[in-house]
Structure 1
Amino acid sequence: MTVAEIAAWLHGRVVGKAETEIVRPAKIEEAGPGGITFLANLKYTRHIAATKASAVLVGPDFNISSAGRNDVAFIIVDDPYAAFLRVLKRLIPPPEPFFQGIHPTAVISASATLGENVSVGPLSVVGDGVVIGRDTKVGAHVVLGKNASIAEHCVLYDNVTVYHGCRIGSRTVVHSGTVIGSDGFGFVQKPDGSYDKIPQLGIVRIDEDCEIGANCTVDRATIGETWLQRGVKLDNMVQIAHNVEVGEHTAFAAQSGVSGSSKIGAYCRIAGQVGIAGHLEIADHTTILGQTGVSKSITEPGKTWFGTPHMEHVRAGRVTAVLHSLPELRSELTALQKVLEELKRSMSK
């Protein structure tokens, strides 16, 4: 594609050589001739002087005349990063990692129902009563338990396990090593200190357009559903406990966990290594920063929280600043105590 063709496709405006042929996208520091890159943040403008890219996607606030790069074609767009993602998908189609069709080593139950153009990879198992929608791709060593349901246009990478009765909605992607529908952590301690297991009789329901990273666990409900609503995104190694509900388009970064029966609102952003206690409610549009421990419900939507226990992030920043100076404050307090004691002694004479 030429620069002009890319600009027209992105509804952008070209400044520079519009006829230049573009063959590959690249990072701004690594791009070479024929490459296209982007500048989304003006604090990285210094890279423009050194880049060898043939074209750069920039925002309306970028001063092209001061860049001094007449050899580079600039494409002005509203959102350079979003535009670059579109270019990535156009110039580098994703690889097809799946066996096409049904691999001869796959075990497919006679009572399973497979839609048109379904692929099932080597050594995968599709259990009794399983339903797989059309155009869904199932990798190698995947296990789909009895009566599990996978809708159309889904992607299940190698070594995914979906337990019995669980349901996955359309266009959902599940990455390798993830387990959907394992038993929730439900036990009752007996008088002698040992435990009785509480039967986990519910399912996991995952709605359409979700993406679940590698090595995640979404536990089945004790009764009813553990529910991930439309557009939820889980990074790698996220734990969702039994009977949790996660609202639409909420995203979790890696190594976060939600304890049983908590309800997370829609459009929330949960950073890495966040822990959310059980039986809580988190309001819509909440942001929780990394390594925060949430021990009480958050009822006001749209706020940002940090720390353990969680507090509004501005206050948490002040608390953290004070913590860093505690040794000095203690020394000063000790010195003041000595002065006070000396004053008391002198006044008592």
Structure 2
Amino acid sequence: MLPTRTLKELAGYLGGKVLGDENLAVNGLAPLENAGPDKITFLANPRYASKVAETGAGAVLMAPGGERYGRNVIEVANPYLGFAKLLTLFYTQPHPPLGVLAGAVVGSGVSLGEGISVYPGACIGNNVTIGNRTVIHSGAVLYEGAVIGDDCVIHANAVIRDRCRIGNRCILQPGAVIGSDGFGYAPDGRSYYRIPQIGIVMLEDDVEIGANSCIDRAALEVTLIRRGTKLDNLVQIAHNCQIGEDCMIVSQVGISGSAKIGNHVTLAGQVGVAGHLSIGDNVMVGAQSGVPSSLEANAGYSGSPTMPHKEWLRAMAVVPRLPELKKTVNALEKRIAELESKLK
């Protein structure tokens, strides 16, 4: 059964302000269109403000100053963040500690923290360290010497290779691979000689890795993902990369080896980043862009190759007109040729 909270309690939890009946109790969240009187809904986009008048919700989470239409409201500075926090409050419960369940395989010299859960089919190699309250789901494989911090969740079929280090409160979605070999080969005549990848991967605290994303181990030292960075599904991070704090890396991004990404960088879907370059702090790169060289901080870029986003918008505005412009140029060339022939 979902917990019930009054609007006064929720406003206190969110640091917001109640307008209306602060004693009204709700037991969860629902969309504007489908919410009933026992639910709270939210308005994050002002474009949908008129739907507040039509909703059946008991209360609405919204930014200060919006039209209430007579509804009970909790005003917060960031309704979308408030929505996320209320989802956590109502629907996310701590995982019960189950210990090592029958069917899990645990090697020798393993250090297990308090309150852990290791599900059947998980495989934990020798000399692995697992922190307090961490959950290892079925099919996950932890190679020898891996270290995992407190309050982590390692979902089904994720793999953490030997000696790699995972910080506290990290989440690995199903199929994520941490520490696969980097793509390193030395030319040897017409063939290639495999370069052993003897480094590791390190994830700092609060990092999340999406399903089937892969982070390659460094050739010699560390492939590093710093605190708070989130990777979507199907992301590839090559060996020796360094990714800064609080980055958002969206699905199908590929980052080549030894690239250095700053803090609070957003790479939209299918961005490709060449190796051995730097991207500064607070950069946003648009979807399907190709980054062949370093990018300065505090700017937006798009295109392949990348250019400042506003320049790309102007260039793209011309593209649909190119066939017409070509006809115009051809006509002008013909007229110039005719004029030149008359002058001879």
| TM-score class, shorter | over 0.9
Structure 2 counterpart of 1:315: 311
1:90 maps to 2:89 = yes
Once the two structures are TM-superposed, the CA of residue 76 in structure 1 deviates from its matched residue by: 1.7
Once the two structures are TM-superposed, the CA of residue 248 in structure 1 deviates from its matched residue by: 1.3
Asked if 1 retains the 8 angstrom alpha-carbon contact of 2:97 and 2:133, the reply is: no
Once the two structures are TM-superposed, the CA of residue 243 in structure 1 deviates from its matched residue by: 0.5
Q: 1:94, 1:274 → 2: CA distance? A: 35
Q: 1:12, 1:146 → 2: CA distance? A: 48
Runs of 4+ deviating beyond 3 Å: none
Of the three residues 139, 160, 163, the one matched with 1:162 is: 160
1:342 maps to 2:342 = no
Q: 1:8, 1:134 → 2: CA distance? A: 30
Q: 1:256, 1:136 → 2: CA distance? A: 28
Structure 2 counterpart of 1:251: 248
Once the two structures are TM-superposed, the CA of residue 169 in structure 1 deviates from its matched residue by: 0.8
CA deviation string 1:303-330 (max 9, x = no partner): 1110000000000111111122111110
Structure 1 counterpart of 2:127: 129
Within a 5 Å distance, the mapping from 1:3-22 to structure 2 comes to 3-22=7-26
Q: 1:16, 1:131 → 2: CA distance? A: 51
With over 3 angstroms needed to count, the CA separation of the structure-2 counterparts of 1:99 and 1:338, relative to structure 1, is farther
Q: 2:297, 2:229 → 1: CA distance? A: 18
1:34 maps to 2:38 = yes
Asked if 2 retains the 8 angstrom alpha-carbon contact of 1:99 and 1:139, the reply is: no
CA deviation string 1:192-239 (max 9, x = no partner): x22211111111111111111110000011111111111111011110
- Deviation larger for 82-91 or 236-245: 82-91
Of the three residues 203, 211, 215, the one matched with 1:214 is: 211
Q: What are structure 1's unaligned runs of at least 5 residues?
A: none
Within a 5 Å distance, the mapping from 1:74-153 to structure 2 comes to 74-94=73-93, 96=95, 100-153=98-151
Q: 1:306, 1:11 → 2: CA distance? A: 37
Q: Secondary structure at the match of 1:195?
A: strand
Q: 1:129, 1:9 → 2: CA distance? A: 42
CA deviation string 1:24-71 (max 9, x = no partner): 20111221121111112211112112211110012113133xx3xx3x
Q: 2:154, 2:32 → 1: CA distance? A: 33
Once the two structures are TM-superposed, the CA of residue 11 in structure 1 deviates from its matched residue by: 3.1
Of the three residues 172, 178, 181, the one matched with 1:180 is: 178
Q: What count of residue pairs does the alignment treat as equivalent?
A: 340
- Deviation larger for 79-88 or 280-289: 79-88
Structure 2 counterpart of 1:203: 200
1:227 maps to 2:224 = yes
Q: Which letter maps to 1:169?
A: G
* C-alpha RMSD of matched pairs (Å): 1.5
1:56 maps to 2:60 = yes
Q: Which letter maps to 2:20?
A: G
Q: Which letter maps to 1:204?
A: V
Once the two structures are TM-superposed, the CA of residue 6 in structure 1 deviates from its matched residue by: 2.1
Q: Which letter maps to 1:93?
A: T
Asked if 2 retains the 8 angstrom alpha-carbon contact of 1:107 and 1:124, the reply is: yes
- Deviation larger for 228-237 or 7-16: 7-16
Identity %: 41
CA deviation string 1:64-98 (max 9, x = no partner): 3xx3xx3x3112222222222222222222484x8
Q: 2:51, 2:219 → 1: CA distance? A: 54
Q: Secondary structure at the match of 2:186?
A: strand
Asked if 1 retains the 8 angstrom alpha-carbon contact of 2:155 and 2:173, the reply is: yes
Once the two structures are TM-superposed, the CA of residue 99 in structure 1 deviates from its matched residue by: 7.8
Once the two structures are TM-superposed, the CA of residue 104 in structure 1 deviates from its matched residue by: 1.1
Q: Secondary structure at the match of 1:24?
A: coil
Once the two structures are TM-superposed, the CA of residue 260 in structure 1 deviates from its matched residue by: 0.6
- Deviation larger for 4-13 or 314-323: 4-13
Q: 2:226, 2:7 → 1: CA distance? A: 40
Q: Which letter maps to 1:260?
A: G
Q: 1:46, 1:95 → 2: CA distance? A: 37
Asked if 2 retains the 8 angstrom alpha-carbon contact of 1:99 and 1:121, the reply is: no
Q: 2:14, 2:277 → 1: CA distance? A: 44
Q: Which letter maps to 1:22?
A: V
